[in-house]
Amino acid sequence: MNGALPHGAPVPRLLGSYDDLGWVALGFEDIEGALPVQPWREDELERVLHALTDLAESLTPSPGLNCRDVSPRLGGWGRRVDSPRSLAKLGVVAPDAARELDRHLAWTGPVYADLVMLLGSVALSGLDPERYATRHPLLRGVDPAAVDVLISAQAGFLLAAACSMDSADPGVDPRLEHAMTGLGLASLRGGRRSQG
């Protein structure tokens, strides 16, 4: 999708790609700088939040990206319903989410979507995401219930992916499963806090 963004968008340009149906490689232009450290540092988080706001404003309305796969990647809850093994694992990893599965079967993509997903990683770092959410311009006037729908979709995507991994499979990286589980659970906790 990066290659389909309009010219002048403040993102690194896609230089080329390779896909052999087993591995995908993407080449982007080099951008000076460094990735933010984890857990988040306040100054870096503020810079990322500012850049995210600029992106949301410059790319709204969303450019008409031609995506072959029209099914949303976020959510993931529906894929758990059809997999008894994954559903059982979800019951162990996130029992509340498994009990409330019907409540999580929704998906949306508003202008504040990237912000809400970023705040999941803020929660995982041990910081209070509500502190940033309440003062951010992209969430001004947004119904908290609508934010919770998006939090649910993100958590569903992460927990669905983690629960579909088989730890006994030598090709599964346990660190990735752990990271997806942690971020999914942190997202769910953030949603519960905003519900009171």
The pLDDT profile of the chain, 196 residues, written as one tens digit per residue, is 666 677 778 888 889 989 887 788 999 999 888 989 999 999 999 999 999 998 888 888 776 654 444 444 455 666 666 678 877 888 888 888 778 777 665 743 678 888 988 998 998 898 988 889 989 999 999 998 888 888 888 888 888 888 888 877 887 888 888 999 999 999 888 765 555 4
Q: Are 1 and 67 in contact (CB under 8 A)?
A: yes
Cα–Cα distance between 4 and 27 in angstroms, integer? Answer: 15
- Quickly list DSSP for the chain: -GGGSPTT-SSPPEEEEEE-SS-EEEEE---SS-PPPSSPPHHHHHHHHHHHHHHHHHT-SPP----S--S-SS--HHHHHT-HHHHHHHHHH-HHHHHTGGGG------TTHHHHHHHHHHHHTT--HHHHHTT-GGGTT--HHHHHHHHHHHHHHHHHHHHH--TTSTT--HHHHHHHHHHHHHHHHHHHHHH-
pLDDT recorded at residue 171: 78
CA–CA distances in Å: residue 100 to residues 53, 96, 105, 173: 32, 6, 10, 28
Burial class (CB in 10 A: 0-12, 13-18, 19+), 156: buried
Give the per-residue pLDDT at 67.
Answer: 47
Rounded distance, CA 152 to CA 42, Å?
26
